[in-house]
Structure 1
Amino acid sequence: MFKRVVGLSALLPFSVLSQSLLIENATLISPEQDQSKQSAYVRIRDGRITLVSFSPLAAEAGEQRLDATGKFLIPGLMDSHVHLSLMPGLLPNGEPQALQKQFEIQQPRSYLYFGVTQLLDPAQSAEQLKVFKSQPLHPDIYHCGATPILGGYPTVFTGPEQASEMFSYMIIRADTGIPVPEGLDPAEHTPEAVVAKMASEGANCVKVFIEDGFGERSDWPNISAELLSRVKQAAKQHGLPVLAHANAIDMQKIAVDAGLDVMAHGMWNWNQYRQAQQMPEAISQVLDRVLKTGMTYQATFNVMDGLTATMLPETLSDPNYANVVPRDILSWYQTEPAQWFKQELLSDFGGLPTERIRQIQQNTIDNGERVIQYLYEKGHPMVLASDTPSSPTYAAQPGLSTFNELQHMHKVGISLKDILAAATINNARAFGLEQDYGTIEPGKMANLLLLNSDPLKSIEAYDSLDKVILRGEVIDRQSLAASQ
């Protein structure tokens, strides 16, 4: 859909690459193939696949060899909705900073631990991602430019002055009556100006926020249809897809009306239809237009799953947390100060009993599932997008939340074959990256996974990783664990 040509040097942060690697005797599973293929040999040079053969290949002089007998070779996974940098559950004042530093070191390794070799952060600039990219091992990272309007979500939580510092691509909507902060030139904050700026700074997409309030609120300034149209036109000129933050039926209708390219959330807020037992016609009409236009649709089950898990005392007992969360951070999560977000959630529900809160959350999850089932049953392709973390919940952790998203996708009926496509080629196509990722073919970036189990037979296979191959470099999975 969208073509972005990225030079090899921009994707290879390591000073030394393995010159040549030969993967031998793997069972190859690539989403463009109808079925898995036995006895595959894959040659990699300078970080890219150069040859795929189903006849034995002799190793060349000095070539590294990787015996994959009995193992399954698939493309590396892409999570197309993550928020990097801040440790989940950190206190609102940014403390404790010592734990934040530990998190910054482990975060990219945790994504790799679960086979995520490509990421898209839809809300941070290249400058804000420098810490992530400075780590010696990290997935390939892409980003959107986020364009909130002054006074709208999420700047409603920061105030105008701080918003002007946090959001360099902010758009000023003149008719809101919100004073423009001193020193901010409105001419530099039009849709045309901010999209041109983000394109020049290497953004791969544009993110808009279609949100007039959470819960019963609907009084936040929202982006207008006219501004949305101008964002869409400017993005088209630069070859960038436009993502919409929208999770309620009325907000998603606005995004569809504007002809945007990606819905960055599932529709779990059904508003006046939230108690409906059958799919309301008003919702099916919006979804039918998603189907007709081919709009990329991110389920982001992890948003509600993370909020629900925050309320459960047994959440952190899942042994996988120890694999992706450093020990000191995991211990801090057990303390009273770390429960601040849980207490905030309880307050938001006005003192309702915990069991009643869980019922409300489950109903919201059920509605989001029904939307995805409706689209999938009508043949709409899925993409893997976890929105990790969408809130300050310690339940949403890098890598693990991506795996949980895969499990939830399978739970609602998406086949294992289509889940593989969602996590690989579908995401690559949606963001114009299919020339580099998504399949196992000559010319593609050598971001690959070697599994001990068949992902076409079990969703748990994605937790059976043996090796991660990142730009041709072979990494043992256990070396990436937080406990190492």
Structure 2
Amino acid sequence: MLNRFLGLMGLLPLTLSAQSLLIENATVLSPEKKQPLTSAYVRVENGRVTQVSSAPIQAKPGEIRLDASNQFLIPGLMDSHVHVSQMPGLLPDGEPKTLQQQFEIQQPRSYLYFGVTQLLDPSQSAAQLATFKRQPQHPDIYHCGATPILGGYPTVFTGPEQASKIFSYMIIQADVQQPIPAGLNPAEHTPEAVVAKMAEDGASCVKVFIEDGFGTRSDWPNISAELLARVKQAARQYNLPVMAHANAIDMQKIAVDAELDIMAHGMWNWNQYRAAQDIPDAIRQILDKVLQSGMTYQATFNVMDGLTNIMLPNALADSHYTKVVPGDILTWYHSEPAQWFKQELLRDFEGLPAERIALIQQQTISQGERVIQYLYSKGHPMVLASDTPSSPTYVAQPGLSTFNELKHMHQVGISLKDILAAATINNARAFGLSQDYGSIEAGKVANLLLLNANPLENIQAYDSLDKIILHGEVIDRQSLAAAQ
């Protein structure tokens, strides 16, 4: 009790570090347990949980004691689809650079502010990962190797020369007529070569892009079935799961038929079935194959939510933005130059009012929701994946987007119990990390959260976070808030 009292009085530091930590009197909610463990004790030594007990544990001399009476201890959350790169909404030329620097400092803190202690970046930039890891407090981060084909998405936006600099794992597909950039050795850009390089670089997965165009477009070169099979075979040699970028019915059918491991998006583009009120048979057949194969399926509601919300007045009115976005950046977001991406979206809709565009986008969101509801109704396990940021929309902010993804999952009917599993053990299992994360058990990394409310009773409990425990280091949540 003394430590808790001193902390409340401001007489203890906002971050506590120790070789040994004893959490006392907590209600432990761990997804593998059928029932909460009340009045529990958890010992952490050298950054890992060493003991979980329903009986009191005698404190060691010099051990930090943390009284968690009336609080709930859960595993740290994992968001398995984020991009640690540019500040959302930054101008295409990377300006203002001073704001980008502020963002890079705050970004990992914002994830921690919402209890996200593990991340997976499926399209990593080595430079940005290094910047992220240089910050003094940051979630544990893992990455996929992203392997587009030269000339396909997303290299269609960069051109061959720039693509060769951005995508180190790019594949050259023989039937795609693209000039091979000078200095690029085709032998180093086969499925086998790039997957071997990913494994050497410490990737946790392989990401392929199955995309022939956005909206009404369908003319972008797409990865061939033969190359897709070779990517999968190479990945199996290194025990790397294969993640597919695909969000339309025809693209997801390719990924499912290829028996890939992870779908990186919900299916919000139903193409010719857009007007359907129920789930058409063609879509149901794809989803039934997802169920049969056990494919990990990421909803990523945040993608369409971000594109919709940026159109609305007072898009940044939520008070949470002041917790995760530095004041200088918030001020810039309200400026005219910062509206460039919103204006691009408006032009794409050929002058329709913003409110009308939001209604159209809501229909798209509804399609993605129905897909997730179908999978969930059949008992398919969910995972937490926000795709932050999926586009240059400033409403999609680190940490806050993860929290909003949790809320959207609950909104479509996923139970609070299954949401806790989606944010913890399910993600850990999907990416081969369950030996270290996902539950509160002896031997696991001590990435833990102390909440003031029960997340099995209310989704808003995830916003009642009091303390983040990162590798045994106790961090006061409010110390992570952005400077205003």
TM-score range with shorter-chain normalisation?
Answer: over 0.9
Q: 2 CA distance for matches of 1:77 and 1:44? A: 18
* Residue in 1 that maps onto 2:112: 112
Tell me which amino acid in the other structure corresponds to 2:221.
Answer: P
Instruction: Report the Cα offset of residue 483 of structure 1.
Output: 2.9
Are the aligned partners of 1:125 and 1:203 in contact in 2 as well (CA < 8 Å)?
no
Instruction: Report the Cα offset of residue 356 of structure 1.
Output: 2.0
In the alignment, is residue 96 of structure 1 matched against residue 99 of structure 2? no
Q: 2 CA distance for matches of 1:433 and 1:182? A: 39
Instruction: Report the Cα offset of residue 456 of structure 1.
Output: 0.2
Q: Map residues 326-405 of structure 1 onto 2, 5 A cutoff.
A: 326-405=326-405
* Residue in 2 that maps onto 1:191: 191
Identical counterparts, % of pairs: 78
SS at match of 1:317: coil
1:354-377 CA distance string (max 9 Å, x none): 222111101000000000000000
SS at match of 1:50: strand
SS at match of 1:315: coil
* Residue in 2 that maps onto 1:27: 27
Q: 1 CA distance for matches of 2:354 and 2:327? A: 29
The number of residues matched between the two structures is: 469
In the alignment, is residue 145 of structure 1 matched against residue 145 of structure 2? yes
1:241-292 CA distance string (max 9 Å, x none): 0000000000000000111000000000000001111110000000000000
Q: 2 CA distance for matches of 1:377 and 1:426? A: 17
Tell me which amino acid in the other structure corresponds to 2:280.
Answer: P
Tell me which amino acid in the other structure corresponds to 1:276.
Answer: A
TM-score (norm 1): 0.96
* Residue in 2 that maps onto 1:459: 459
Are the aligned partners of 2:17 and 2:474 in contact in 1 as well (CA < 8 Å)?
no
Are the aligned partners of 1:85 and 1:131 in contact in 2 as well (CA < 8 Å)?
no
Q: Map residues 23-102 of structure 1 onto 2, 5 A cutoff.
A: 23-102=23-102
1:160-208 CA distance string (max 9 Å, x none): 0000000000000011111111111100000000000010010000000
SS at match of 1:475: strand
* Residue in 2 that maps onto 1:9: none
Are the aligned partners of 1:82 and 1:385 in contact in 2 as well (CA < 8 Å)?
yes
Are the aligned partners of 2:85 and 2:125 in contact in 1 as well (CA < 8 Å)?
no
* Residue in 2 that maps onto 1:7: none
Q: 1 CA distance for matches of 2:256 and 2:359? A: 30
Q: 1 CA distance for matches of 2:354 and 2:72? A: 43
Q: Map residues 239-258 of structure 1 onto 2, 5 A cutoff.
A: 239-258=239-258
Q: 1 CA distance for matches of 2:126 and 2:341? A: 29
Q: 1 CA distance for matches of 2:256 and 2:116? A: 30
Q: 2 CA distance for matches of 1:410 and 1:373? A: 11
SS at match of 1:442: coil
Q: 2 CA distance for matches of 1:18 and 1:355? A: 53
Are the aligned partners of 1:325 and 1:482 in contact in 2 as well (CA < 8 Å)?
yes
Tell me which amino acid in the other structure corresponds to 2:242.
Answer: V
* Residue in 1 that maps onto 2:475: 475
Instruction: Report the Cα offset of residue 126 of structure 1.
Output: 4.1
Name stretches of at least 5 consecutive residues in structure 1 with no aligned partner: 1-15
Moved more, 33-42 or 444-453: 33-42
Instruction: Report the Cα offset of residue 125 of structure 1.
Output: 4.6
* Residue in 2 that maps onto 1:5: none
Tell me which amino acid in the other structure corresponds to 2:133.
Answer: K
Are the aligned partners of 1:153 and 1:220 in contact in 2 as well (CA < 8 Å)?
yes
Q: 2 CA distance for matches of 1:321 and 1:417? A: 27
Are the aligned partners of 1:17 and 1:47 in contact in 2 as well (CA < 8 Å)?
no
Instruction: Report the Cα offset of residue 379 of structure 1.
Output: 0.3
SS at match of 1:175: coil
Instruction: Report the Cα offset of residue 110 of structure 1.
Output: 0.1
Which stretches of structure 1, 4 residues or more, deviate above 3 A after TM superposition?
125-128
* Residue in 2 that maps onto 1:12: none
Are the aligned partners of 1:126 and 1:201 in contact in 2 as well (CA < 8 Å)?
no
Tell me which amino acid in the other structure corresponds to 1:227.
Answer: L
Instruction: Report the Cα offset of residue 17 of structure 1.
Output: 5.6
Q: 1 CA distance for matches of 2:32 and 2:239? A: 25
* Residue in 1 that maps onto 2:285: 285
Instruction: Report the Cα offset of residue 324 of structure 1.
Output: 0.2
TM-score (norm 2): 0.96
SS at match of 2:428: helix
SS at match of 1:24: strand
Tell me which amino acid in the other structure corresponds to 2:191.
Answer: P
SS at match of 1:341: helix
Name stretches of at least 5 consecutive residues in structure 2 with no aligned partner: 1-15
SS at match of 1:18: coil
Are the aligned partners of 1:17 and 1:46 in contact in 2 as well (CA < 8 Å)?
no
Are the aligned partners of 2:312 and 2:358 in contact in 1 as well (CA < 8 Å)?
no
Q: 1 CA distance for matches of 2:381 and 2:272? A: 28
Instruction: Report the Cα offset of residue 215 of structure 1.
Output: 0.4
The structure-2 alpha-carbon separation of the partners of 1:91 and 1:127, relative to structure 1 and needing over 3 Å to count, comes to: closer
Instruction: Report the Cα offset of residue 128 of structure 1.
Output: 3.8
Are the aligned partners of 1:80 and 1:386 in contact in 2 as well (CA < 8 Å)?
yes
* Residue in 1 that maps onto 2:269: 269
Tell me which amino acid in the other structure corresponds to 1:188.
Answer: E
1:137-180 CA distance string (max 9 Å, x none): 00000000000000100000000000000000000001111111
Q: 2 CA distance for matches of 1:355 and 1:239? A: 47
Are the aligned partners of 1:245 and 1:264 in contact in 2 as well (CA < 8 Å)?
yes
Q: 2 CA distance for matches of 1:99 and 1:145? A: 28
SS at match of 1:43: strand
Tell me which amino acid in the other structure corresponds to 1:315.
Answer: A
Q: 1 CA distance for matches of 2:315 and 2:125? A: 32
